[in-house]
Chains A and B, each alone.
Chain A
Amino acid sequence: MNYFRVLVVDDEEDFLETIVKRLGKRGIDAAGSASGEKALELMREKLFDVVLLDIKMPGGMDGIEALREMKKIAPLTEVILLTGHASVESSIEGMKLGAFDYLLKPINLEDLLTKLAQAFEKKDGQDQKIRSAKIKELMRFPARVFQQEKDEEK
């Protein structure tokens, strides 16, 4: 399994803390955030491959709202939704907004790992496609290397 970066967003601190620890123990670079707002901040600072997002967070930003914002910040980052009983409809909505999949609470770590891996593969595939596209572009127009650097500075 490749090394990848995961952001877990859940308002249950105990859960958040434990899942981050457990993922970390399995060699995944996991970070936690107890609210949508904080998660968005983190995403602006750092790149994540996969986000595990609780869809229902009472008080503060709603999961769906956070998802919308995340897709704006990092369109390629895959989002897996964590859903409770009454939020399946929200999950479907979330999927329409570009979420990768959803998991029903309480989650099983094995399932989570599988889903994370799948999401990462997808994201990685996308990345690679983009990279090879860029390489092709650069091969054709080497001068664009500088433009690229400029973009990245932004």
Chain B
Amino acid sequence: MKTSLYTGLQRKIILITLLVSLAPLIVLGATIYCQFARMYGDKITQQITYRSRGLSEAVELFLKERIAILCSMADTHHFNEIINETNLSRIFEIMNSRAGAFVDLGVIDSNGQHLAYIGPYDLKGLNYYQQPWFGEVLTKGVYISDVYMGYRKLPHFIIAVRRQEKDHIWILRATIDSGVFEGIVKAAQVGKTGDAFIVDKNGAYQTQPRFEGKILTKSNLETNSFGGGTTVVEKKSGQGKQVLFAGTWINHGKWLLVIRQGVTEEMTGLFSTRDMEIAIILSGILAIILMTVFTTRMTISRLRDADLKAAELNAQLMQSDKLAALGKMAAGIAHEINNPLQIIIQKTGWMEDLLDEEEFRKSANLDEFRDSIKKIEGHVERARKVVHGMLGFARKMEPHLEDVDVNAIINQALDLLGNYARINNITIKPDLSPELPIIAADGSQLQQVFMNLISNAIDAIGSDGVIEVNSLRVGPQIHIEVSDNGPGISEEKQKKIFDPFFTTKETGKGTGLGLWVTHNILEKMGGSINIRSQEGKGTTFTVQIPILIPEKK
């Protein structure tokens, strides 16, 4: 019952302490982590945006260069010059040496007729009039195709520019090896998961992506989710990983340059920070839990000890209160009983006296009378002893101080009881410290104490046994132990052992006052008496007497 009270209290204190100390720690940790993650995320987004923008500028520049060189070639040559394949071949060489990446070069007239061609394929004579790009280049002046697989199974795209020569219109068309700008794009494929590629409006790859998918196949990017400028879109990849896509529209909104970056890789810094933070917080939590449990346990055990001591003190107080009240009552009873006893004993005495007279001597029941009178006297004597016991205490309320050698008093008691012990075959082993000081105490009262304890020990053993009597100086006290190897006293009885009229002896043999008086005498002296007993092993009474140094006379 009491134990569960303490464990309940302990649990409550631990819970509250942990709650109060851990909650802010966890909230703080989580907040810091969230803020940090957000900042980190922002930083990554920013980075990827810059990369996307930079790359798109590079690609745009590449395209612009090609268009510019094509335009300048178209603008600086007349139709008549350019359809001459020798001239065209020279122009092609100049273009390739200045800019590179041109695969072929052709001239197409306004009817779509391929009039001149320099390049590895036999494209001369083909008519492009029906081709959609042909119309576009005629109207817009410049055309850049999407990437397609050429006859060499290499990705290509074409750039065509229109040349207006008075009322004559012709077109200069070049094929560009898109592998070249793939090189530019690939330079941005960094890290383990970084990728860069270009898709067209429908999401088809225009360059070979680093992972998943092939050129000209459809990517699963929804291009319409990318707005103007550079847009960052977050997606889950096939393996459930977070991937960031930063897309920038290039080539007049025809192509989308995409930088792809796995979040996990970029976040490793954050994750290691997070792991460290978690480790720090966890070790903090562990330390807090350990400390809390430790300190709470200590507090609770201190509390329990204090409670125990208080309870003990309380019990002692109650005991002495009880004994004091009982003492008063006993004294009152003794007084009231004494007078009737006095009269009874005198009246019986008178009757006894009268029995000696002649007339009674002849009575047949003389012996009966005598016997009855003896019995009455016997029992009055018994009552008298009880009352005297009580008076013994009451009488000795004020101790009379004299110089006392405790050992001498013990020896006196042993002398007085030695015979009684011998008869019952009990050995008394005294072990008295020779270093006891002479103290100021009431010798006759102490004598009574030791007589009580030793005769009790003899009575407890009955016959055949050993009694040890030790005296020892312990600090400001003299301790005297009287131990017997008798049957011991149960714990239940130990509690009542100092109560008046409590006796373990047969009815009529003990008054139950001896230990009560002993206890009271010692308490008056400022000493104490304790019992230590184990059933079947024996009993030890320890008497503690304060050392009062006698006044010098």
Binding between chains A and B = yes
B contact residues around A2 at 8 Å (CB): none
In angstroms, Cα B341 to Cα A14, docked, is 12
Question: A106, B334: Cβ atoms under 8 Å?
Answer: no
Question: B349, A105: Cβ atoms under 8 Å?
Answer: no
Question: B331, A86: Cβ atoms under 8 Å?
Answer: yes
User: Quick check: is B343 within 8 A (CB to CB) of the other chain?
Assistant: yes
User: Quick check: is B87 within 8 A (CB to CB) of the other chain?
Assistant: no
The count of chain A contact residues (Cβ–Cβ below 8 Å) is 18
In angstroms, Cα B194 to Cα A42, docked, is 138
B contact residues around A84 at 8 Å (CB): 335, 338-339
**Those of B385-399 within 8 Å (CB) of chain A:** 387-388, 390-391, 394-395
In angstroms, Cα B390 to Cα A84, docked, is 12
Question: B345, A106: Cβ atoms under 8 Å?
Answer: yes
Question: B395, A85: Cβ atoms under 8 Å?
Answer: yes
The secondary-structure label for the interface of chain B is helix
In angstroms, Cα B383 to Cα A106, docked, is 10
User: Quick check: is A18 within 8 A (CB to CB) of the other chain?
Assistant: yes
User: Quick check: is B384 within 8 A (CB to CB) of the other chain?
Assistant: yes
Question: A106, B353: Cβ atoms under 8 Å?
Answer: no
Knowing A84-B335, A104-B388, A106-B384, say if A18 contacts B394 (CB, 8 Å): no
Question: A18, B339: Cβ atoms under 8 Å?
Answer: no
In angstroms, Cα B348 to Cα A108, docked, is 11
B437-463 toward A: CB 8 Å interface, digit per residue (1/0)?
Answer: 000000000000000000000000000
User: Quick check: is A12 within 8 A (CB to CB) of the other chain?
Assistant: yes
Question: A106, B395: Cβ atoms under 8 Å?
Answer: no
Question: A106, B335: Cβ atoms under 8 Å?
Answer: no
User: Quick check: is A3 within 8 A (CB to CB) of the other chain?
Assistant: no
Question: B350, A85: Cβ atoms under 8 Å?
Answer: no
A contact residues around B384 at 8 Å (CB): 106
Binds B, one of A19-27, A65-73, A129-137, A146-154: A19-27
Question: B395, A15: Cβ atoms under 8 Å?
Answer: no
One of A18, A85, A86 near B349 (C-beta < 8 A): A18
B contact residues around A22 at 8 Å (CB): 346, 349-350, 353
In angstroms, Cα B342 to Cα A15, docked, is 7
**Those of B495-521 within 8 Å (CB) of chain A:** none
Question: B391, A15: Cβ atoms under 8 Å?
Answer: no
**Those of B417-475 within 8 Å (CB) of chain A:** none
B contact residues around A105 at 8 Å (CB): 338-339, 341-342
**Those of A40-96 within 8 Å (CB) of chain B:** 84-86, 88
Q: Name the CB-closest residue of A to B351.
A: A18
Question: B335, A25: Cβ atoms under 8 Å?
Answer: no
* Minimal beta-carbon separation of A84 from chain B (angstroms): 6
Question: A107, B342: Cβ atoms under 8 Å?
Answer: yes
Question: B394, A85: Cβ atoms under 8 Å?
Answer: yes
A-B pair number, CB within 8 angstroms: 56
Question: B346, A18: Cβ atoms under 8 Å?
Answer: yes
User: Quick check: is A145 within 8 A (CB to CB) of the other chain?
Assistant: no
Question: A85, B331: Cβ atoms under 8 Å?
Answer: yes
A contact residues around B334 at 8 Å (CB): 85
User: Quick check: is B522 within 8 A (CB to CB) of the other chain?
Assistant: no
Question: A25, B353: Cβ atoms under 8 Å?
Answer: yes
In angstroms, Cα B380 to Cα A12, docked, is 18
Name, among A21, A85, A104, the residue most crowded by chain B CB atoms within 10 Å (CB to CB): A85
The count of chain B contact residues (Cβ–Cβ below 8 Å) is 22
In angstroms, Cα B347 to Cα A11, docked, is 16
The secondary-structure label for the interface of chain A is helix
In angstroms, Cα B343 to Cα A108, docked, is 11
Question: B380, A85: Cβ atoms under 8 Å?
Answer: no
B385-415 toward A: CB 8 Å interface, digit per residue (1/0)?
Answer: 0011011001100000000000000000000
B contact residues around A88 at 8 Å (CB): 395
B contact residues around A25 at 8 Å (CB): 353
Question: A14, B380: Cβ atoms under 8 Å?
Answer: no
In angstroms, Cα B345 to Cα A108, docked, is 8
Question: A12, B342: Cβ atoms under 8 Å?
Answer: yes
* Minimal beta-carbon separation of B348 from chain A (angstroms): 9
* Minimal beta-carbon separation of B328 from chain A (angstroms): 11
**Those of B343-377 within 8 Å (CB) of chain A:** 343, 345-347, 349-350, 353
User: Quick check: is A97 within 8 A (CB to CB) of the other chain?
Assistant: no
Question: A14, B347: Cβ atoms under 8 Å?
Answer: yes
A contact residues around B380 at 8 Å (CB): 106
User: Quick check: is A109 within 8 A (CB to CB) of the other chain?
Assistant: yes
In angstroms, Cα B342 to Cα A22, docked, is 14
Question: A106, B342: Cβ atoms under 8 Å?
Answer: yes
In angstroms, Cα B148 to Cα A111, docked, is 147
In angstroms, Cα B335 to Cα A12, docked, is 14
Q: Name the CB-closest residue of A to B347.
A: A18
- A-B CB contact pairs (8 Å), 5 listed: A12-B343, A25-B353, A85-B395, A86-B394, A104-B388
- Using a CB–CB distance below 8 Å, which chain B residues touch chain A? 331, 334-335, 338-339, 341-343, 345-347, 349-350, 353, 380, 384, 387-388, 390-391, 394-395
- Using a CB–CB distance below 8 Å, which chain A residues touch chain B? 12, 14-15, 18-19, 21-22, 25, 84-86, 88, 104-109
Q: Which 7 pairs show the lowest CB-CB distances between chains A and B?
A: A106-B342, A18-B346, A85-B391, A106-B341, A14-B343, A18-B350, A15-B343
